[in-house]
């Protein structure tokens, strides 16, 4: 982040505004809405600004700016078209460690005034770090259209009940669940319909009838997809944002992880070849322990949890312990990487079936049944096979797969770092020795690979352009 988003309490506090034109008027409206006591410096005064000052007990302190005007104020906004004045205001504020905003000049700003969606007490600020204010305003317009204005009433209702809920529930997780039920259920619907007395009565009833005992939590086994956060399902995103604890794998991208609830406990349980941060039995134990403590746990796995994700093993442990769970499918690597590489897994002219195969079996063995993989008109997709590429290729050729069969390696598929290496069974090992594509990667074998050059669309000509060994 270039700026840390903060919310400044300006109620009844002195703020200096320099400039009384149209821009100054816009800033004055915002500052007065936040409760600031405005002190204005300006030669000319917009008529509406004069009325605002009178109505809010603000005052015009001078025509010209001078640094002594900074004494006692907590915030400074310069809205003039005089570059020399703006430079001087910035320098004087920096010398006093005063937060300053010079309108439309990010280089002279220690804080940015965002585009605002106001549903007080809920306030949403949108900033482009001063680089694309029109984009920020467009995003604000989108949010304005989908967030009902009565969210303000809902926030005020919550404020009135906050102390009572805190007294009722000593545990923070119980309080959180109570509010989530209120904000997503019949209480919220009554608020949105303008039925405030009914909403307040219903919330009081729910509070009085709520169970204060420690409930068993729940585990959500969630597929995080291949890395691109836009490939998450709506349900995955919703559960990620309400989870108390998140256990995540190595293949979960930072962009996806960043969508989890900010105050959730994040536990890394990733695995690399020959390097497990947390052994699988300990992961199973953690899931059970956290859920039995009443917490909602997201087990976040790259790709799909039921495709080489050991999700079934984890659910068996949860079932034995009596822990409720849900499973949210994710886009598995075979689908994502092939699609982003422009390689259809099936095609009427080339392949009528697909096999998903792990290149690494239990206990690190690779005793694969290559004989069943050599049939024509099918596509083979190997997961976790990059380190055994030579063995996989040799096994296929030995059982009769033509050495001229096309093959592709797709590394870090669907991410900006995606790279694709194509070849045939008889030359792909040598090409990879030169290219050194990193894991994670999938291997696609079959005639459909020939379509890559024609159908490649993602980031073409940049990072992931086809690599051809010399």
Q: What are the residue numbers of the active site?
A: 249, 271
Kindly report each contact of residues 431-437 with a partner whose C-beta sits within 8 Å and lies 24 or more positions away, as own/partner: 431/467, 431/468, 431/469, 432/386, 432/389, 434/469, 434/470, 435/467, 435/469, 437/386, 437/409, 437/411, 437/467
Separation CA 433–CA 456 (nearest Å):
23
CA 31 to centroid of chain Cα atoms: 31
Classify strands 265-268 and 75-78 as parallel, antiparallel or unpaired.
unpaired
Q: Are 197 and 240 in contact (CB under 8 A)?
A: no
Q: How far apart are the C-alpha atoms of 381 and 332, rounded to whole Å?
A: 11
Q: In this structure, what token pair is assigned to residue 69?
A: 């005007």
Q: Which two tokens stand for residue 19?
A: 């400039």
Q: State the DSSP H helix or E strand holding residue 334, giving kind and residue range, or none if neither.
A: helix 333-340
| Residue 25, C-beta contacts closer than 8 angstroms, at least 6 positions apart | 46, 48, 49, 52
Cβ atoms of 259 and 232 within 8 Å: the answer is yes
Q: What share of the chain is helix, strand, coil (3-state, %, to 5)?
A: 40, 20, 40
Candidates 432, 434, 430, 426; CA nearest to 410 is: 432
What is the spatial distance between Cα 317 and Cα 320, in angstroms, rounded to a whole number?
Answer: 5
For residue 83, give every residue at least 6 positions away whose Cβ sits within 8 Å of its Cβ, in sequence order, or none.
none
- Given the structure tokens 């903060």, which residue do they identify? 6
CA 414 to CA 396: how far, in whole Å? 27
What's the CA gap between 374 and 399, in Å, rounded?
A: 7
Residue labelled with tokens 């982040």: 1
């Amino acid at each position: 982040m270039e700026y840390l988003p903060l919310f400044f309490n300006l109620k009844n506090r002195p703020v200096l505004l320099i400039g009384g034109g149209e821009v100054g008027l816009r800033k004055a409206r915002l500052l007065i809405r936040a409760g600031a006591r405005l002190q204005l410096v300006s030669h000319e005064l917009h008529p509406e600004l004069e009325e605002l000052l009178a109505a809010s007990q603000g005052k015009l302190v001078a025509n010209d700016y001078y640094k002594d005007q900074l004494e006692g104020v907590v915030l400074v906004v310069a809205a003039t078209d005089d570059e020399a004045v703006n430079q001087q205001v910035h320098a004087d504020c920096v010398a006093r460690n005063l937060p300053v905003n010079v309108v439309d000049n990010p280089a002279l700003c220690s804080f940015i005034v965002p585009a605002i969606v106001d549903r007080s007490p809920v306030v949403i600020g949108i900033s482009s770090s001063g680089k694309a204010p029109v984009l920020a305003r467009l995003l604000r317009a989108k949010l304005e259209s989908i967030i009902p204005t009565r969210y303000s009433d809902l926030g005020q209702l919550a404020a009135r009940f906050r102390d009572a809920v805190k007294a009722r529930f000593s545990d923070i997780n119980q309080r959180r669940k109570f509010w989530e039920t209120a904000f997503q259920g019949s209480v919220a619907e009554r608020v949105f319909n303008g039925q405030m007395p009914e909403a307040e009565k219903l919330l009081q009833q729910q509070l009085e009838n709520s169970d204060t005992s420690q409930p068993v939590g729940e585990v959500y086994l969630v597929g995080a997809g291949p890395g691109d956060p836009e490939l998450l399902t709506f349900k995955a995103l919703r559960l990620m944002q309400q989870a108390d604890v998140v256990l995540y794998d190595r293949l979960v991208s930072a962009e996806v992880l960043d969508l989890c609830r900010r105050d959730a406990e994040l536990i890394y349980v990733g695995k690399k070849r020959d390097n497990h941060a947390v052994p699988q039995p300990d992961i199973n134990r953690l899931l059970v322990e956290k859920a039995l403590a009443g917490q909602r746990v997201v087990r976040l796995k790259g790709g799909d949890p039921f495709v080489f994700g050991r999700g079934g093993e984890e659910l068996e442990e949860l079932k034995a312990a009596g822990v409720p769970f849900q499973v949210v499918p994710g886009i598995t690597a075979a689908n994502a990487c092939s699609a982003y590489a422009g390689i259809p897994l099936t095609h009427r002219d080339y392949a009528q079936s697909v096999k998903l195969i792990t290149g690494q079996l239990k206990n690190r063995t690779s005793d694969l049944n290559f004989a069943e993989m050599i049939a024509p008109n099918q596509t083979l997709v190997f997961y976790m096979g990059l380190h055994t590429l030579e063995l996989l290729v040799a096994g296929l050729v030995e059982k009769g797969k033509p050495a001229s069969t096309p093959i592709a390696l797709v590394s870090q598929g669907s991410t900006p770092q995606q790279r694709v290496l194509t070849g045939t069974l008889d030359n792909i090992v040598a090409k990879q020795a030169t290219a050194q594509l990193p894991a994670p990667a999938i291997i696609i074998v079959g005639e459909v690979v020939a379509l890559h050059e024609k159908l490649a669309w993602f980031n073409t000509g940049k990072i992931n352009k086809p690599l051809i060994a010399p």
